[in-house]
Chain A
Amino acid sequence: MKSSRGVLRPAIVCLLLMTALCGVLYTAAVTGIAGIFFPQKANGSIITVTLKDGSRKEYGSALIAQEFSDPKYLIGRPLGTSNLSPTSAEQKKLVEKRIEWWHNLDPDNKREIPSDLVTASASGVDPGISPDAAAYQAGRIARERGMTEDEVKEIIDKYTIRSFLGIFGEPAVNVLKVNLALDGLL
């Protein structure tokens, strides 16, 4: 068929050219620019610490949460994603269990628990918690570590990320960075 031949060549050539341009060249260009200008960010925002003996150690990504449960650390949001309806019975049970867990961890803390500490995030690895959620834990961390609450709060404040222009999004405390600083590594 004449008309199909008239279409087949441009179709195949167009696909190949698009693959070369948008698949190969474009990806390579972005990778190149990223590698030159933002090498640390392009490679996962890995936190590298120079230890006292001069060696360098990688402690994880500033963007991906690690699990903390020890009371001397700032503790982040529950890991994993639930996909549960917030109004379901299963979710209610889970949240109540988490509330009890927080109360057992620090029985004297009678303040209200910020809601992000008892709900799972979207990514399942949310690196941040709200400033309220960090402040809620400051007293306990200070007590466990023999620091003053102000010292803990100072570290928390230092690793709080403000929202864009103070308008878009919410501020968040980077849990891993705070804990590295508490351990004297950052």
Chain B
Amino acid sequence: MSKIILQEVLFLILLVGFSIPLGLFMYKVMSGEKVFLTRLLKPVENCFYRLMGIKAEEEMSAKKYAFSVIIFSMAGFLFLFLLLLLQGILPFNTEGMKGLSFDLAFNTTASFVTNTNWQAYSGESSLSYLSQFLGLTVQNFVSAGVGIAVLFALIRGFIIKEKKAIGNFWADVTRAVVYILLPLSLVVAVLLVSQGVVQNFSSYKEITALQDGAAQILPMGPAASQVAIKQLGTNGGGFFGMNSAYPFENPTSFSNLLQMLSILLIPAALLVSFGKAVKDKRQGRTLYAVMMILFVAALIFTTVSEQYTAPSYAGVSYSGNMEGKETIHGVGMSSLWAVVTTAASNGSVNAMHDSLTPLGGLMPLFLMQLGEIVFGGAGSGLYGILSFVLLAVFIAGLMVGRTPEYLGKKVEPYDMKMVCLLILVPPLVSLLGTGAAVLMPSVQGWLTNSGAHGFSEILYAFSSMGNNNGSAFGGFTANTPFTNITGGVIMLLARFIPLIAVIFLGGNMAGKKPVAASEGTLSTSNGMFAGLLIGVILIVTALSFLPALALGPVADYFTTR
């Protein structure tokens, strides 16, 4: 156990250490300042603007910004959807994959456009290389880019004074992809190949096994390039069905560490960018501390559960719960990954979450249900927690009878309506989806486990899609027309309603006159506020999900102990 604690502490130190310089870098990039890559990449950026026919300095209203996001996402949706349907007649298809069925193509497209990366398919048995690199890889980049862009639109809302403009979406998404995601991915991808993640366009390799001479098929493909951005962009969709548990996707303990850092790196760094952007580092630090407290609590809970609550057997030495875990990752790195991937809205796995202990599996589920705000998705994590900040400020304002304000801007009814959309849509669609699935007559046939754990499989699936995470209890049969269509719609609602609400929130904030802080202003950068914020987050989530959690993992724990 002491080794596991050492691993986890060192991991967090590395994360914080890398996030600070990257955060400052990202702030500069997103505000159009010069960075060390400018000389190299400015021509690329300018070429983008010229061909798009836009001017980067031309600021947009919230309406125009939102409209641009929607049209851009729809274009991406259409392109990917057609690619998946038609892959059978397109090139780079060494294994002769057929086009996906309509409902599976819809689900997969929705999943990748929304940065969820829920996978109802298995890459190596359903997708051509073309679909992977030309379709999925690209959406991995741009969906993360959109998240970062929209976050900065909101941040500008707080810092702009009395102007109804929040930046240019095309410039934001271009900068996020070209300066941040692409260079980082290139470095990570090459490091991953050096560890043994495959990267080629060969056909699958047939091998004769040593013992019986039985044939073994080894899947191939351009995996490393996609795995790098799947982690950095908090996407999470595996190149192979078994995701980062599959050795071709995550072969060594170094690749494992690198991928875990990549998952949390950008969401953590954005907190630093935020502090810099609002010219008050304490604001960023407070949110960083809040996330870190929730993260560490979740980590301790999961690790202890995995290490100590597995069943023991006579004649077997006890070493925690190794079911569904790889030898090289062990209990420690598997527990850490499970928390990392669900705290961020990543959803890649290096262990089978279905085979976590009941309480060990409760925490990843709960982290998703928090709304992906403990670091969360690239961009979406920070705008998610900012909505909780406004809610906390609002509640505190009600208690003392003052108009609440945040970062010098008054929080008014319009803003709170946007906050409600942000906070309430994900739990609503998660629970409605779970409820609908439970009512399906055929639902028993979709489950691997029975009883309370079976219910957890359903709850996990819809919480994952309803919060744009994408991880799964693997025993749940995802590829059914019902889950594909319902899940696809849920993912789209859970992504785009909050996203649009954020843009309008930013637009409304931008138009306001800043108010000077007075003695009566609630400080949002001290311990008391951090405590209030954690309280608000936990209460909202508990009110939404406790009944469902009681029927799932909690009941599972008490009935199988």
A interface residues with partner B (beta carbon < 8 Å)? 3-4, 7-15, 17-19, 21-24, 26-27, 29-31, 33-35, 37-38, 41-46, 58-64, 66-70, 73, 77, 81-88, 90-92, 95-96, 99, 103, 112-116, 118-130, 132, 161, 163-164, 167-172, 176, 179-180, 183
Query: What is the bound-complex CA distance between A88 and B329, given in angstroms?
Result: 23
Q: How far is the CB of A16 from chain B (nearest CB, A)?
A: 9
Residues of chain A with a CB closer than 8 A to B225's CB: 26-27, 30-31
Check if A30 sits within 8 Å of B222, measured CB to CB. Answer: yes
Whole-angstrom distance from the CB of A130 to the nearest CB of chain B?
6
User: B222: which A residues are within 8 A, CB to CB?
Assistant: 27, 30-31
A27 to chain B, nearest CB (A): 4
Asked if residues B134 and A172 are in contact (CB atoms below 8 Å), the reply is no
- Which residues on the A side are within 8 Å of B448 (C-beta)? 82-84
8 A-B pairs closest in CB distance? A169-B253, A122-B245, A83-B475, A170-B330, A63-B247, A87-B560, A10-B52, A112-B317
Within 8 A of A (CB), among B41-89: 44, 47-48, 51-54, 64, 67-68, 71-72, 74-76, 79
Does B350 contact A87, Cβ atoms closer than 8 Å?
no
Residue among A33, A70, A96, A170 with max Cβ neighbours from chain B (10 Å): A170
Q: Apart from A66-B209, A86-B321, what are 20 other A-B pairs with CB-CB below 8 Å?
A: A9-B53, A11-B72, A15-B79, A17-B51, A21-B178, A31-B201, A34-B199, A41-B195, A60-B207, A67-B209, A73-B211, A81-B242, A83-B448, A99-B313, A114-B316, A121-B325, A122-B350, A123-B242, A168-B10, A169-B253
**A35 cross-chain contacts in B, Cβ below 8 A:** 199-200
Distance (whole angstroms) from the CB of A93 to the closest CB of chain B: 11
> How far is A155 from B67 in the complex, measured between Cα atoms in Å?
64
Residues on B with beta carbons closer than 8 Å to the beta carbon of A118: 313, 316
Q: Are B170 and A31 in contact (CB under 8 A)?
A: no
**B256 contacts the other chain (CB 8 A):** yes
CA distance A31 to B198 in the complex (A): 9
Residue in chain A with minimal CB distance to B193: A34
Instruction: Identify which of A45, A69, A99, A167 contacts B316 (C-beta below 8 A).
Output: A99
A91 vs B323: C-alpha distance when bound (angstroms): 9
Cβ-closest chain A residue relative to B306: A86
List, in ascending order, chain B residues with CB within 8 A of A81's CB. Answer: 242, 324, 352, 474
Q: Give the A-binding residues of B (Cβ under 8 A).
A: 3, 6-7, 10-11, 44, 47-48, 51-54, 64, 67-68, 71-72, 74-76, 79, 133-135, 137-138, 140-142, 170, 173-174, 177-178, 181-182, 185-186, 189-190, 193-202, 205, 207-212, 214, 216, 218, 220, 222, 224-226, 228-229, 242, 245-248, 251-254, 256-257, 310-311, 313, 315-330, 332-334, 349-352, 354-358, 448-450, 453, 473-475, 556, 560-561
Distance (Å) between the CB of B243 and the closest chain A CB? 9
CB <8 Å contact, A30 and B186? yes
Q: Tell me the minimal C-beta distance from B445 to chain A in angstroms.
A: 15
Structural contact, A8 and B322, CB atoms closer than 8 A = no
A14 x B322 contact (CB < 8 A): no
B196 pairs with A63, CB closer than 8 A: yes
Q: Are A19 and B189 in contact (CB under 8 A)?
A: no
Nearest A residue to B358, CB-CB: A87
B327–A129 contact, CB under 8 A? yes
Chain A residue at smallest Cβ distance from B249: A123
Q: Are A82 and B211 in contact (CB under 8 A)?
A: no
Contact A168 B71 (CB under 8 A): no
Task: Check A34–B190 contact: CB distance below 8 A.
Answer: yes
Whole-angstrom distance between the Cβ of A86 and the nearest chain B Cβ = 4
**Which chain A residues lie closer than 8 Å to B137 at the CB level?**
22-23, 26-27
From B52, B71, B200, B205, A34 is in contact (CB under 8 Å) with B200
Q: Which listed residue (A41, A88, A132) contacts B196, Cβ 8 A? A: A41
CA distance A161 to B254 in the complex (A): 12
Q: Is the CB of A60 within 8 A of B216?
A: yes
Complex partner residue of A11 from B71, B208, B214, B245, CB under 8 angstroms: B71
Partner of A13 from B53, B248, B315 at Cβ < 8 Å = B53
Q: Is the CB of A170 within 8 A of B323?
A: no
- The contact of A23 among B134, B351, B357, by CB within 8 Å, is B134
Q: Which of A68, A91, A96, A123 has the most CB of B within 10 A?
A: A123
Measured CB to CB, the closest approach of chain A to B17, in angstroms, equals 15
Residues of B within 8 A of A130 (CB): 319, 327
> Are the CB atoms of A123 and B326 closer together than 8 Å?
yes
Q: A15-B72, A125-B246 are in contact. Are A30 and B190 (CB under 8 A)?
A: yes
With A30-B189, A85-B354, A118-B316: A170-B207 Cβ-Cβ less than 8 Å: no
A14 x B67 contact (CB < 8 A):
no
Contact B316 A27 (CB under 8 A): no
CA distance A70 to B149 in the complex (A): 57
Q: How far is the CB of B67 from chain A (nearest CB, A)?
A: 6
A88 to chain B, nearest CB (A): 6
A-B contacts, 26 listed (Cβ < 8 Å)? A3-B64, A13-B51, A15-B79, A26-B185, A31-B199, A37-B190, A41-B197, A45-B196, A59-B207, A59-B208, A61-B218, A63-B251, A66-B216, A73-B211, A83-B355, A84-B323, A86-B357, A99-B316, A115-B316, A115-B318, A121-B326, A122-B351, A123-B245, A169-B7, A169-B253, A171-B328
A121 in contact with B324 given A27-B225, A30-B224 (CB within 8 Å):
yes
